Amino acid sequence: MKYKVPFVNYPLQYRNLKTEIDSAVQSVLERGDLILRQDVEDFEKDLASFLGVKFAVGLDDGTNAIIFALKAAGVGPGDEVITVSHTFVASVASIVHCGATPVLIDVKEYDYLMDMDKLEKVITPKTKAVIPVHLNGRGCDMEKLMFIAKKHNLAVVEDTAQALGAKFKGKMIGSFGLASTYSFYPAKILGGVGDAGALATNDKEVYEQAILLRDHGQKTKTDIVCYGFTGRLDNLHAAILNVKFKRLPGWIERRREIAGIYQVGLSDLDQVGLPPAPDSDSRFFDVYQNYVLRAQERDELAQFLKENGVEILIKDPVALHHQKGLKLEKFKLPVSEKLAQEVISLPMYPELSNEQVRYAIDCVKRFYSNG
């Protein structure tokens, strides 16, 4: 089906950057620079500078980024790591892959982020780390989190897959904890042409451990110092990300403009709950990876939008801790459970035209006006 308002538009973004991307790809192939070459190093330096941290490590995806960060923090069997259920499964799976036990807490009604008032209640002598998930382009309240983490000597690994460029009190999200992790999956704010990710940190030991873990534990080609993984960012992906990185500030501003249009257009509907508007709270600078509504009759609205040419996403219709295969049913998280039944993501990407955004708004309003 061809949508009037697609959820993402990869071909259009490519056409807009075709000359530069084609040139970057050709340069990499002509040079034969395929694995851990200059393009990766350039990307790492630019990412670290953008975040205001000392180090960044290019990786193959955001999941390995979390695993490597946890391992560098010393997380292993017998440890507990606190995070949320209202997230992509990778946030929790990474804990399990380290041999540790995930402990899940609920999120807030307002912005769907970790409820810091619930954090301290689940800390035990086994708690080793906490993973705040910065969701939909908004950062968690890192002031409260860091205070609690310092009090209990917990490592903080920020899952920043959906919040590259977001800020809390003027400081970049991803620069607070021991390490932060990133996904450059194609639909992300900064998206590659396949899976890609990164880890960022101010800690030299964490950086050096991530460097080893991404490349089979090889300090040099003849000196293997630990068991590692295949977790490198491909040089070709890095070259394309370098082209896109230059556009990131402008893309963020465009996302905020689109969020403002949605806010004005939908704010008079009692049937939907909107995300925080741009600049509604001076502590937060949101980048709107996603534009997520809480909607009455969510599934019926989704079908209506699809029939009228607006592509949407319902990412997690079942709360993560209710996925039977994960064996997390013991957690009772009422807000997360409600969100799974209510949230729906509208199209949000820089290439959207104002007309497309207003059409999506009109469709939502027509659904509710029709009863």
The amino acid that residue 65 corresponds to is A
Residues 87-102, mean pLDDT to the nearest whole number: 98
Question: Considering the entire predicted model, what is its pTM?
Answer: 0.96
Domain spanning 10-245 has what CATH number? 3.40.640.10
Delimit the domains of the chain by residue range: 10-245, 248-369
For residue 138 the two structure tokens come to 């908004």
Question: What pLDDT score was predicted for residue 341?
Answer: 96
Q: Given this chain, do its domains 10-245 and 248-369 carry the same CATH topology?
A: no
Residues 139-155, mean pLDDT to the nearest whole number: 98
Cβ distance 310 to 367 under 8 Å? no
Q: What angle do helix axes 204-213 and 62-72 make, rounded to 10 degrees?
A: 130
Distances 181 to 57, 82, 240, 257 between C-alpha atoms, Å: 10, 16, 19, 26
Question: What pLDDT score was predicted for residue 371?
Answer: 67
131: Cβ contacts below 8 Å, ≥ 6 apart: 66, 81, 82, 83, 91, 94, 95, 156, 157, 158, 159
The amino acid that residue 212 corresponds to is L
343: Cβ contacts below 8 Å, ≥ 6 apart: 112, 292, 293, 294, 295, 298, 314, 315, 316
Domain spanning 248-369 has what CATH number? 3.90.1150.10
Angle at 313 between CA 309 and CA 315, to 5 degrees: 165
Measured distance CA(115)–CA(9) in Å, rounded: 34
| pLDDT tens figures, 282-312 | 999 999 999 999 999 999 999 999 999 999 9
Cβ distance 124 to 76 under 8 Å? no
| pLDDT tens figures, 109-137 | 999 999 999 999 999 999 999 999 999 99
Question: What pLDDT score was predicted for residue 170?
Answer: 97
| pLDDT tens figures, 232-263 | 999 999 999 999 999 999 999 999 999 999 99
129: β partners: 81, 155
